[in-house]
Structure 1
Amino acid sequence: MKYLCLFIVLLYIAGCKKTEKGKEQDVIRVSVLKGPSAIAFAQCLEFPPVVNGKAVSITIADSPDIIQASLIKGEADIAVLPMISAANLYNKGIRYPLLGCPLWGTLYLIGKNFPSSKNELYLFGTGTTPDILTRYYLDRKRLTYSMNYSFSTAPEVLQALLAGKAEMVVLSEPFVSMALRKDTTLRIIGDLNNPEGLSPEFPQTAIVCNILLSEDASQLDSILRASCQFAVEHPVEAIRILEERHVFAPGMLTPECIERCKIYYQTAKEAQQSIDSFLRLIEQYEPKALGGRLPDSSFISKRE
């Protein structure tokens, strides 16, 4: 009798585990980097979509490292992270191909004027996208500046600018809008996302997707395109959603901030030429940021 009871208990536990696993399979887990990327997902946060019977669950992550860990552990089906990180992970064998690109901007040169007393430019993140695009911008404009990385975070760079400790800085949204709002003598001196005024800009943000979801790709594309469009066409509503869910503190976002993020969705196939150009630019300036080489052709889906 004792063994029969034990057998029944074991069957019950196994059944529970099977049920839990089944529930997990009915959920598409999305990890989104906190910051401008999250703006594009405001609509999905307010109205969680369902894809072929699978609920979409969105988690906002505080750093790219957290998202990378979730991909390595297989804890995310879809992830939104910098393009540079997505390509690097792919080259390291974390085979999440590119689904599409939702953001094409956010980086700007901020100051009062081009500094005349000292050619020093403050930014943070050596070897990251802001660093690479700053160097590219200066090269294209034939400007010579000393790059100062003494501050380790964007808020520190912002505070240095507002306190007069830095004359010119590189910032991304929403810190650009915060700087312009707190000091009306500041202005945008350069658009690092589009130094030559061409369109489209650089596809700086990537949405990668587990290859097992390939049959859902078209439906996912439609949801992502609509969500990006919602943020652009209804910025006030998007801001409300993001503030209520504590993704951004009240007052951090403005409609102008959202406009400067250059939010619109393109599938990997639609954006292929822009992606190739951007990855080649990264390889030129910082090849180790990609793991020493460009990702192979399977990184960009060739689906119709």
Structure 2
Amino acid sequence: MVRFSSSRILFVAGIILLFMLMIVPGCSRDSGSAVAVTSKDDSHGTTDAPSMPVEVEKTPAIAQSEPELFAAAVYSPSVSKPHLRVAVLNGPTGLGMVKLMQEAKDGVSKNDYDFTLLSSPDEMVAQITSGAADIAALPSNLAAVLVQRTSGAIQLAAVNTLGVLSIVSTDSRITSLEDLRGGSISATGQGAVPEYALDFILASQDWQGADALSVEYKAQHAELATALIAGTVATGMLPEPFVTQVMLKRPDAHVVANLTEEWDKAVQGEGALVMGTIVVTRKAVQDDKQAVDTFLDEYKASTLFAATHVDETARLANGFMGMPVETARVAIPRCNITFAEGGKMKALVAPFYEVLFAANPKSIGGRLPDDSFYYER
């Protein structure tokens, strides 16, 4: 609000403005603005899922009366908000973000945001390395790889997803992980947590030689989900919400193995299966640390909303991500959406990185991240 030192100044200004409005009645008043929501791909692969909108317009403000316009003109100068570009994966990360996306669309978020929805971790890496994003959702191991690749240009700001992987099959003969010894499956997540988690679990159970599992990796979750639904692939490893999508479309599909449970048995409580993280560029922190901290507050509230308001989150997921409402409604409680930052985040991630490093140093970029990798408010 603008404050004036004299009521006389305010009165004179009001008279002048009112006179101008009376003689120029045709002036337009367009108060709308837009929040960019772009998508690189429809990652759900179902024919009944609408495609992702390229741009979502804010709802125009209701036309103001002349006195209201007068008051707004005098007392409410526009105030620009901090602007952040956020890259989000279609999946659990996206589900936890949709409430914040709606708030940004409605103009009630504390920051202005451009959200880009992507379908693969490689696209996320490109967003960060090219400088196209200030904040990105990345698989946890890729966050560690990327800090090495960018010479420390990013920091880990939050954990947002724990274990969400399952092996699903439409083959009635396969009912447990043991039934897959010496067999084959399709999967997604090559070069990311899914591949390394599966390799670690199988190695802990001595699956070698003739017992080795042959894994054919698909580029995108939607591609594998579609193949399982169509019956061209019998068994595959997928994250939620794609597991739910397959099981809703194929009643004969069943979960063969929950990889979170298999991981817990393998590590014997020495580290959670941390799937997803939020990274922030150091440049964004240097430019406006308060805006980054505000994002973390708003994103945390959005993840909590997803966990406690499933039906509304499902509707938002349909609007922003093209995900069928029923799929989202069933999947959200299974998605292990969480939020951890600071010391709690490090306590989750550091032991996980140690497990991955011992199993395959390449999985986290060849060395363990140091303390400067972990963002602190």
TM beyond 0.5: yes
Q: Whole-Å Cα distance in 1 between the matches of residues 117 and 80 of structure 2?
A: 18
The yes-or-no answer on 1:289 pairing with 2:363 is yes
1:202 to 245, 270, 273: 273
**Hey, what does 2:349 align to over in structure 1?**
275
- Given that 2:142 and 2:192 are in contact with CA atoms closer than 8 Å, whether structure 1 keeps it comes out as no
Normalising by structure 1, report the TM-score: 0.79
Q: Verify: 1:46 aligned to 2:113, yes or no.
A: no
Shift of 1:38: 0.6
Partner of 2:163 in structure 1?
105
- Shift in Å at residue 63 of structure 1? 3.0
Deviations 1:244-268 (A, max 9, x none): 22x1343573323111110011114
Residue 275 of structure 2 aligns to which amino acid in structure 1?
Q
Q: SS state of the match for residue 269, structure 1?
A: helix
- In the other structure, the counterpart of 1:5 is none
Alignment-derived partner of residue 199 in structure 2: 135
Q: Gaps (5+ residues) in structure 2? A: 1-78
Q: Name the CA shift for 1:187/1:268 in 2 (closer, same or farther; >3 Å).
A: farther
Identify the range of structure 1 (179-188 vs 197-206) with the bigger mean alpha-carbon deviation. 197-206
Further displaced range: 70-79 or 33-42: 70-79
Distance 2:364 2:168 in 1: 28
For 2:180 and 2:259, the matched residues in 1 are separated by: 21
Deviation at 1:276, TM superposition (A): 0.8
5+ residue gaps, structure 1: 1-22
Alpha-carbon distance in structure 1 between the residues aligned to 2:367 and 2:81: 34
1:237 aligns with 2:312: yes
Alpha-carbon distance in 1 for matches of 2:201, 2:229: 23
- Contact 1:121–1:145 (CA<8 Å) still a contact in 2? no
**What is the correspondence of 1:52-91 to structure 2 with a 5 Å cutoff?**
54-91=111-148
Instruction: Confirm or deny: 8 A CA contact 1:126 1:149 kept in the other structure.
Output: no
Partner amino acid, structure 2, of 1:98: L
For residue 109 of structure 1, report the CA deviation from its aligned partner: 1.6
Query: In the alignment, which residue of structure 2 is the partner of 1:258?
Result: 332
Aligned to 1:172: 239
- Deviation larger for 234-243 or 140-149: 140-149
Equivalent position to 1:226, from 265, 287, 301: 301
Contact persistence 2:185–2:213 (CA under 8 A): yes
Q: Which amino acid aligns with 1:301?
A: Y
Q: Which among 254, 258, 261 is matched to residue 191 of structure 1?
A: 258
More relative contact order, 1 or 2 (CA 8 Å, 6+ apart): 1
Structure index of larger Rg:
2
Deviates more, 1:55-64 or 1:167-176: 55-64
Q: Which stretch has the larger CA shift, 176-185 or 57-66?
A: 57-66
CA distance in 1, matches of 2:164, 2:295: 24
CA distance in 1 between partners of 2:168 and 2:180 (Å):
15
Looking at structure 2, the residues matched to 154 and 32 of structure 1 have their Cα atoms a distance apart, in angstroms, of: 15
Alignment RMSD (CA, Å): 2.9
The worse-fitting range, judged by mean Cα deviation, of 228-237 and 160-169 is 160-169
User: What whole-Å deviation, never above 9, does each CA across 1:160-204 have from its counterpart, x for those lacking one?
Assistant: 444555443211122201221122232222221342276984222
Q: Structure 2 CA distance, aligned partners of 1:275 and 1:180? A: 31
Instruction: Compute the TM-score of the two structures, normalised by the length of structure 2.
Output: 0.65
1:13-35: CA deviation from partner (whole Å, max 9, x where unpaired) = xxxxxxxxxx9983122121222
Structure 2 vs 1, CA of residues 190 and 249 (structure 1 numbering), >3 Å: closer, same or farther?
same
- Alignment check: 8 A CA contact 2:168 2:257 kept: yes
Match of 1:8? none
Give the direction of change, closer, same or farther, for the CA distance of 1:153–1:100 in structure 2 (3 Å limit).
closer
CA–CA distance in structure 2, aligned partners of residues 200 and 228 of structure 1: 22
Query: Is residue 78–residue 208 contact of structure 1 (8 Å, CA) maintained in 2?
Result: yes
Which amino acid is 1:220 matched to?
F
1:301 alignment partner, SS class: coil
> How many matched pairs?
278
Aligned residue identity for 2:86:
V
2:80 and 2:366 mapped to 1: Cα distance? 36
SS of residue in 1 equivalent to 2:199: helix
How far does residue 41 in structure 1 lie from its aligned partner after superposition? 0.3
